[in-house]
Structures are given as structure tokens and as C-alpha cells.
Chain A
């Protein structure tokens, strides 16, 4: 067996579990070879990918098979690591926190159970990919749009459970969840929200049902395996208006964010706006060596060349408005009026109307083109993301830019940063891009990441999601009352998962048996 087993995993118990899995789901659904282990490890791991290498993967095809796998894991005390499609690139892919865990890959539970055009909702299994749901909506001519992450290779359910983001008004994906079916670590099946009623006709309409609402408890947690998810979809809009704009100077982001924040709060603007630097554009269409072959972070004069070549600013963004053209025209007028006192620069307007050919990179059409950024250095590229959440406040965002920029320069990594503005917060996505096979570069990338965590923590900003390497570190930054929240999570974990088999270490939550051994 090639994978390094964590000391907490008993090799004989693992081997018994693998045989039992084969009996329960078939030999063709249990993968144990060294090639399989490598394919399920972190595809973007900096340097050594065996740190988080699984020992095997198992792919149940039905709820019953899933329950059987969980029963066996409990009997043998073997940890599973749940993924829906496991394309969590930048955050660890399909790889587990605890090396030697068995990946519970739900790719083959991939039925689209229902799409209700009138209620604008769907009920799907975790293996349904963004492409699958998109193709289904197209082929059945269902006039609903989904919201997509900018790389759409993954799972609709997995992405929503990790609180992913997209770029339509439905872009806060975890907020679109309406009802789930969950297999608890001990194997019991629960339906949340209105689905708790046997003959419920409102499972995908009403999130809360009666009593406490549990949906969000299964996001970014290891409290259960989601086997079905209800999700709201957006009625296809009559038109989309894109308003492209840039800020030439770094400090323009101060007034820019304040103006956008006001528009966002008043819902004149109702989808995420991502403000990004020139390398974000350059890395999509070119490689670093075409610009610069020196060591250290790319210097300002080269960034200036990128701005000239692509005719862009230092900060670049597009506002997208969705709906009836009459509404969009009014919204656009209000947006332009809000910008006018600060700058004479005009927006570049692009209209799209229903029936017209859909342009490349339309936000409701899946693409994986953005994965190109990892090709920046050539070779086996990779990246991790440090993404703290900030208030919508121009001055704080500018200060964060200065702070992170300085850190990228200090560790000699190209500055690739952006701010995605939601209704009441901004996600500061700091991409750390490296060549996986360059040990010096990946060491610097790790040091940069640590420094960014500490700086943001000091400034009062916590990450919303993280890579498997940093789950404990991020959980530690949520430190009110001596980590009371982490202790609550641990108490819930011990209650629901007494044998500690489900995704140990997810979001820094370790079951009792691992906590004791860790100490």
C-alpha cells in the first residue's frame, strides 16, 4: 500500500473494511491501487502530495450502498472523507485531512431527481456536476438558470456544502439550499426542513419546517453525509446587461468599494462583483515567462505592461444585471449616477437578450477555462487560496490590499488578489500560485499563506473556507472565549459520530478519539 497511513488508522482494520466495502458495493466501486490513491490526492498540493493521501476510495451508487459503507466504517473504525465530485481544487481536491482515510466519493450517486420549473427548484444527488445540471436544463428546455463557480468541474451539492460562490443573484450557493436528506454518521437517514414530513409538498419551498433548522449544520462540517439536496434556481432572465469598468490607480478602490457597497445594500446591484488585478487577466491568456523570467514577485513595470496590453486598469470588474431590459436600463442609470461624482470614465456596456447566441464566459454556462491560471508557471501548476471575509468598506479593503501586497513581495510570489463583493461583506480571494515541483517556491508559498492568516487574524478578518492543510490553523483563529465555538462543534461531533469515522479534521473538528491522540 503506497499511502502513508496516519498512526490513528489501524492497517488490519482498514484491510477488513476494504474487503467488506467490496462485498457491499462491488469490486468495481472500491479503488485501492497506488494510481487510484494518487488520483484522489490533492492535485494542487504544494510539493509533497502524500501528506494528505487517501488509502482508497469507495463509490456507492445508492442510498442503501452509502449506508452499508458507513456501517462498515463504524464496525471497523475506519475514517471516511466525504466528497461529492471531489474537484475542490485550491482547497485540497478530493484529498482527506487525515492521510489514509478512505475517500467516500459520491460521484456515482448522480441522479437529477426533480426539476420543478414553476417553483424554480431542483432536488439532486451529490454526484450531479454543474455540467450535468446545465445539460439537463438545456435538453429539457427548462427556463431556469443555475449559479456557477468560475471553474465548474465540480458538484452542485459539494460546492454549495463548502459555501461556494457564483456570479448571478443566486451566487451565495449555501443560501440557495432548501431541504436536504442526510445520512448521519451512525447510518440513520434524516430529512431536514419541510422534508421531515412524510408526504411533504413544500420540501423545496420552505427551508425551516418546524423547530430548529439544520441545513447549515451540514455545510463545511463532518456531522453527516448529504445524500440529496434541494436547491433554488433562478428563472431565466429576459436580458443580461454587463457593465465593465476599471480603476486605474490602486487607491481608487477606496471610493470604488464604498460606491459599490451602497448600490449592493440597496439592491440596485444584486450579484457578486469581483474586483481583480492585472495578473488575474494575464494568467488566463498567457504564461508568466511571456512577461518576466526573473525571480521574486513580478515588478510594477511588468504589471503596467499587462495593463497596456489588455487595455485594463489596476483593478478590473464587471457588474452584471439580470432581468427585464426596462429594469436593467433604470438600474444602469442609477449605477452610472453613483459613479459620476468620482470619475468621468464611462462603463463599457454589453447587452444580451434571450434568443441571442450566448457569449463565451456567460456566467450561467459552465466552463473550466479558469483552471488555466494554474498554468502560469508551466509544468505541474497548483494554487491555494486564502480568503478572509471583510466588511464592505473601501478604506479597510485598501489597507488589506497594501498589507497582503507587501507579504507577496516579501515572499517573492506574484500578487494575485481580488475582492468579491457580496451584499454585506467582501471575500478577499488571495490566490497563491506556484509550480508544484519547485520546492523553493512552494516553501515560500506556504510561508506566505501562514503570514496572511496571521495578518488577517490580527486585523479581525477570518477565512470563510480553506485548504485541508490549514483547517486547524483557521479554526484556531475563531478564538472567542477560548475557542468556545470549536468546543461546541466537538461536542456535537462526539454525539453524532461516536466512533469518529466521518471526515476527521474537516474545518478543524476532530472526533474524540483523534483529539485525545493528537494531544
Chain B
């Protein structure tokens, strides 16, 4: 198990949450969006109330225009608050949009 690394060695390692490796759109979606938009979470509940179950899970949707995603992220929508550029950078948002709008 990794946690038995000597403490001195461990303390040489630092972990930068957003800059470590090139992060994929999917990973960013999981970290930044799925906390509300995974199945059973509050964003999904809100969408299923508004649009029905079949359109409630964002990463299963095929009808999301890129500009619309960008707009909702930066402006918020109903109970969803706007997401700051400190939290999700413009480059990260591009990757998330690419992931959500890629043919699937």
C-alpha cells in the first residue's frame, strides 16, 4: 500500500490539483460538474423535473450546443449558480464543452 512510504519521502511530493498533468475533458467534467450532474445528484434531479428523466443526465445528452453550455456555466440557470473563471478556467471550460458536445 502506498501510504507506508516514509514520511520524509512523502513530504517531498506535492500534489497540484489542477496543474499536475494535462487533464481530460472527461476528468474535468467528473471533478467540476458531476458533483451535481451525476445520476441521483441535485442537478440531475432539477433537470429531470424540468425536462424529464431521459434528458436529465448531461453527459448522456446529444442535444447540447457548445455555446449554450458555455452560457449556462458562466451565467447560471435557476438553482445552478454561475461558475467563476477562478474555479473553472476558460481552457478547462473548452475541454468540458468538447467532452459534452463530442458525438456519442
* A is bound by B: yes
- A residues whose Cβ falls under 8 Å from a Cβ of B: 28, 31, 35-36, 38-40, 43, 57, 59, 85-86, 89, 93-94, 105, 107-108, 110-119, 127-129, 131-132, 135-136, 140-143, 153, 287, 360, 366-369, 371-372, 374-375, 378-381
- Does B69 reach chain A (CB closer than 8 Å)? no
Convert B17-38 into 0s and 1s, putting 1 for each residue whose CB lies closer than 8 angstroms to a CB of A. Answer: 1100000000000010001100
- Does B52 reach chain A (CB closer than 8 Å)? no
Q: Given contacts A39-B74, A43-B76, A372-B45, is CB(A119)–CB(B7) below 8 Å?
A: yes
Contact of A369 among B31, B42, B76 (CB under 8 A): B42
Residues in B whose Cβ lies below 8 Å from that of A39:
74, 76, 81-85
**18 residue pairs A–B, Cβ–Cβ below 8 Å:** A35-B75, A38-B82, A39-B83, A40-B84, A59-B86, A93-B81, A107-B84, A108-B86, A118-B7, A127-B17, A131-B31, A141-B2, A141-B3, A142-B3, A153-B35, A369-B42, A372-B42, A374-B79
Q: How far is the CA of A186 from the CA of B4 in the complex (A)?
A: 41
Q: How far is the CA of A43 from the CA of B87 in the complex (A)?
A: 15
Residues in A whose Cβ lies below 8 Å from that of B35:
131, 153, 366-368
Q: Given contacts A110-B16, A143-B3, is CB(A43)–CB(B82) below 8 Å?
A: yes
- Tell me whether B14 and A57 are in contact (CB under 8 A): no
Contact of B84 among A28, A105, A119 (CB under 8 A): A105
- Tell me whether A117 and B15 are in contact (CB under 8 A): no
B85 to nearest A CB, angstroms?
5
Which B-chain residue is minimally distant from A374 (CB atoms)?
B79
Residues in B whose Cβ lies below 8 Å from that of A112:
14-15, 17
Q: How far is the CA of A293 from the CA of B86 in the complex (A)?
A: 39
Residues in A whose Cβ lies below 8 Å from that of B75:
35, 38
- Does B89 reach chain A (CB closer than 8 Å)? yes
Q: Given contacts A28-B90, A374-B79, is CB(A57)–CB(B11) below 8 Å?
A: no
Residues in B whose Cβ lies below 8 Å from that of A94:
84
- Does B46 reach chain A (CB closer than 8 Å)? yes
Residues in A whose Cβ lies below 8 Å from that of B78:
378-380
Closest 5 CB pairs of A and B: A39-B82, A105-B86, A43-B81, A107-B86, A110-B17
Convert B57-87 into 0s and 1s, putting 1 for each residue whose CB lies closer than 8 angstroms to a CB of A. Answer: 0000000000000000011101101111111
B13 to nearest A CB, angstroms?
8
A191 to nearest B CB, angstroms?
15
Which A-chain residue is minimally distant from B18 (CB atoms)?
A110
Interface size class of B (residues with CB under 8 A): 35 or more
Q: How far is the CA of A256 from the CA of B8 in the complex (A)?
A: 48
- Does B98 reach chain A (CB closer than 8 Å)? no
Q: How far is the CA of A105 from the CA of B87 in the complex (A)?
A: 9
Residues in A whose Cβ lies below 8 Å from that of B14:
111-114
- Tell me whether A116 and B17 are in contact (CB under 8 A): no
Contact of A116 among B10, B31, B85, B87 (CB under 8 A): B10
Residues in A whose Cβ lies below 8 Å from that of B17:
110-112, 127-129, 132, 136
- Tell me whether B10 and A36 are in contact (CB under 8 A): no
Q: A113-B11, A371-B79 are in contact. List 7 more A-B contacts (CB 8 A).
A: A39-B83, A40-B84, A57-B85, A86-B84, A142-B3, A375-B46, A380-B78
- Tell me whether A28 and B89 are in contact (CB under 8 A): yes
Q: Given contacts A108-B18, A111-B14, A117-B3, is CB(A35)–CB(B74) below 8 Å?
A: yes
- Tell me whether B18 and A368 are in contact (CB under 8 A): no
- Does B51 reach chain A (CB closer than 8 Å)? no
Q: Given contacts A116-B10, A141-B1, A368-B36, is CB(A111)–CB(B87) below 8 Å?
A: no
B15 to nearest A CB, angstroms?
4
Q: How far is the CA of A153 from the CA of B42 in the complex (A)?
A: 13
